[in-house]
Structure 1
Amino acid sequence: MSASSFGSRFIVTSFGESHGTALGVVIDGCPAGLKFDENLLTKELERRRPGGDLVSQRKEEDLPEILSGVFEGKTLGTPIAIIVRNKDQKSQDYEAIKNSPRAGHADDVWQQKFGHRDFRGGGRSSGRETVTRVMAGAVAQMLCKQLAPEMQLKAYSAQVGPHSLTEADREKIWQQDVDQFTARFPSAQHERVRELLTMAQSQGESYGGVAEIRIKGAPKGLGQPVFHKLKADLAAAYMSVGATAGVELGAGAEATQEKGTAFHQESQSENYGGIRGGISTGEEIFLKVHFKPTSSILDIAKKGRHDPYIVTRAVPVLEAMTWLVLADHLLWQRGDQV
């Protein structure tokens, strides 16, 4: 299988299956001399880890093992390899559906495409694969914080089924610890969201939702203006995450209903989402990512270990993918001018 690598300058290659021995990532292109923050790596893995309230009950420690590329606390400029070992596989849970494709999953299309697949937990199509992205994203975050220390990033749930954030909620985002709210939905409504998802979990139901990503302090000039526009690489990064259904930048779909004379006003620069001509403007970057309801529903959900709402655990993955794109373009920017 090809196409397991992402990035142009900061290149990551993901490997491993949901119920295999381990999952891991190889990072190539990270400069030497970067201070390697193992605490940050562990923290980001903890944020993605299953086994919490209202998410999959698969209990994995996800303790990272750094195999190469780091010595005496700094990167060597050589490929960085990191793995986490799988310890809580329940492969027997999938024997019954070995020859019965699950609705909404990739079981049948993977079988048709490759002729041979690992059906245990979805194999490589499982959300478990995202642990490799989070490891790579943590290293990318270390690099970004060194190259652009003013830059900040925050992702969160903006819609959980019928519940949506208010503008007042959004105004407080940068002061909130998103992880302290049910479903990473930073609103006083989060207890109503808890009730909704608790009922969904017991009934084998699931909900879709929307995540929002905000980047503050990004340098001007990130992004290549033709085939690697910053918005294009961010959209590709987000759409590569399972269960995503769409990406919006700035005003997004609302822009299609506007007159140009109203939309293109200097006072309305937030409509562009911090990117014009595919290049960052230095203003806050704002994107939305839409997610379909989790595919495992009814009896499959009741018998297995599944999430009634996937965005909760997608938030750290979206952040990781954002850091990967930003690291790539920060390195790329170094060669834009003599």
Structure 2
Amino acid sequence: MSASQFGSRFVITSFGESHGAALGVVIDGCPAGVRFDEGLLKKELERRRPGSHGSGQIVSGRQEADAPEVLSGVFEEKTLGTPIAIVVRNQDARSQDYKDIKNSPRAGHADDMWKNKFGHSDHRGGGRSSGRETVSRVMAGAVAQMLLHETSPKTRVIGYASQIGPFSLTPDERVQLSSKNIDSFQARFPSSRDSEVASLLQSAQQSGDSYGGVAEILIENPPAYLGQPVFHKLKSDLAQAFLSVGATNGFELGLGFDAAEVKGTAFHQGSQEAYGGIRGGLSTGESILLKVSFKPTSSILDVAKKGRHDPCIVTRAIPVLEAMTWLVLADHWLWSKTDHI
């Protein structure tokens, strides 16, 4: 199996299975001398864990410590410029919950697709197709964030749920999102209706059902002119980053598909926000707004009741999407250093 790498300059290799001994990441391309903030690494892993921000009733019951072990590439709290390897050990896998699906793949999952493609696969917890693989992405994203904190300290990446099932943020609720503590909302839905969303998801979990939704990523003060012509536009690499996350099924930049309804005179002579912070494939330095949609969780009915699953992926995916954003920004920031003499 190939294609476990991501990035062109800041390159990560993700490894491990859901019920294997460990999951980890190797990061190659991070410059020497970056201050390694282990507290930030642990904080981002904690944000990804189920129940980390009061969401215990609406997420998977699997409880992993996710304590990171830095194996290489860091000395005296600074990066060495050599490959950085980080792992977390799996401690709360219940493989017996999955014995029935070894020969009877779950509907809507990757079980049979991967087995048919590769001829042999790990059915326990979904193996490598499990959402637990995103632990590796979050660890790598934390290191990318460390790099950007030094090179572009004003850059911020803010993720939140803008829609879960029938609930959507109103225009008024979108005001001053950057000043809100998104993690203080149980479903990461920054609205006074967050508790209603949490109740909806709790009810779905108890009945063996699930919901989809939309997550948004706001990048404030990004470096300008990130991106490469043609095949590595910033928007195309962000789209690849997001759509590589499990259960995603749509991506939008700025106005997205709504731009199809707008006349060119209004679109190009109006607010720069219509472009979403990217023109010609390059960042303008203005805020970048991205949206990604998620299908309802595939674990439903008896499968959901027997195992430990999330009734909605969006809430758990926010830190993962943020991590992928930091990875793309770090990759293109390094790439930009070779744009001209």
TM class by shorter chain equals over 0.9
Match of 1:182 among 182, 186, 190: 186
Deviation at 1:213, TM superposition (A): 0.4
SS of residue in 1 equivalent to 2:230: coil
* Matching residue's letter, 1:42: K
Q: Which amino acid aligns with 1:12?
A: I
Q: Which amino acid aligns with 2:286?
A: E
Distance, in Å, in 2 between the alignment partners of 1:53 and 1:283 is 38
4+ runs of 1 displaced by more than 4 Å? none
How many Å separate the matches in 1 of 2:268 and 2:33? 44
Report the Cα offset of residue 50 of structure 1.
Answer: 2.5
Q: Distance in 2 between matches of 1:159 and 1:182?
A: 14
The partner residue of 1:268 within 271, 279, 285 is 271
Distance 2:96 2:204 in 1: 25
TM-score if structure 2 supplies the norm length?
0.98
Displacement of 1:262 in angstroms is 1.5
Partners of 2:15 and 2:184 in 1: how far apart? Answer: 31
Report the equivalent of 2:248: 244
The whole-number CA distance in structure 2 between the counterparts of 1:256 and 1:85 is 47
Counterpart in the other structure of 2:16? 16
Quote the offset at 1:183 in angstroms.
1.0
Q: Letter of the 1:280 partner, please give it.
A: S
Q: Give unmatched runs, 5+ long, in structure 1.
A: none
Q: Residue 324 of structure 1 aligns with which residue?
A: 327
Query: Greater shift after overlay, 309-318 or 46-55?
Result: 46-55
TM-score, normalised relative to structure 1: 0.99
SS in 2 for 1:118: coil
Residues 285-304 of structure 1: matches in 2 within 5 Å?
285-304=288-307
- 2:229 alignment partner, one of 217, 225, 228: 225
1:149 aligns with 2:153: yes
Aligned-partner Cα distance in 2 for 1:22–1:230: 32
User: Equivalences for 1:152-231 in 2 at 5 Å?
Assistant: 152-231=156-235
- Confirm whether residue 30 of structure 1 aligns to residue 34 of structure 2: no
- Once the two structures are TM-superposed, the CA of residue 121 in structure 1 deviates from its matched residue by 0.3
CA shift for structure 1 position 101: 1.1
Shift in Å, 1:150: 1.1
Secondary structure of the corresponding residue to residue 182 of structure 1: coil
Q: How many residues align?
A: 337
Q: Partner residue of 1:309?
A: 312
- Provide the alpha-carbon RMSD of the alignment: 0.7
Query: Is 1:70 the equivalent of 2:78?
Result: no
Q: Is the 8 A contact 2:34 2:78 kept in 1?
A: yes
SS at match of 2:40: helix
Q: Distance in 2 between matches of 1:53 and 1:67?
A: 35
**Shift in Å at residue 53 of structure 1?**
3.1
Q: Quick one: which amino acid aligns to residue 337 of structure 1?
A: H
Q: Secondary structure at the match of 1:53?
A: helix
Picking from 86, 89, 107, the partner of 1:103 is 107
Deviation string 1:266-303 (CA, Å, 9 cap, x unpaired) is x3211110000100011110010000000000111011
Offset of residue 172 of structure 1: 2.4
Report sequence identity in percent.
69
SS of 1:56 mapped into structure 2: coil
1:115-126 superposed matches below 5 A: 115-126=119-130
**Match for 1:337 among 306, 318, 340?**
340
Instruction: Write the distance in 2 (CA, Å) between the matches of 1:195 and 1:107.
Output: 30
Distance 1:13 1:156 in 2: 27
8 Å Cα contact 2:57-2:202 kept in structure 1: no
Tell me the distance in 2 between the aligned counterparts of 1:69 and 1:219.
26
Structure-2 residue corresponding to 1:48: 48
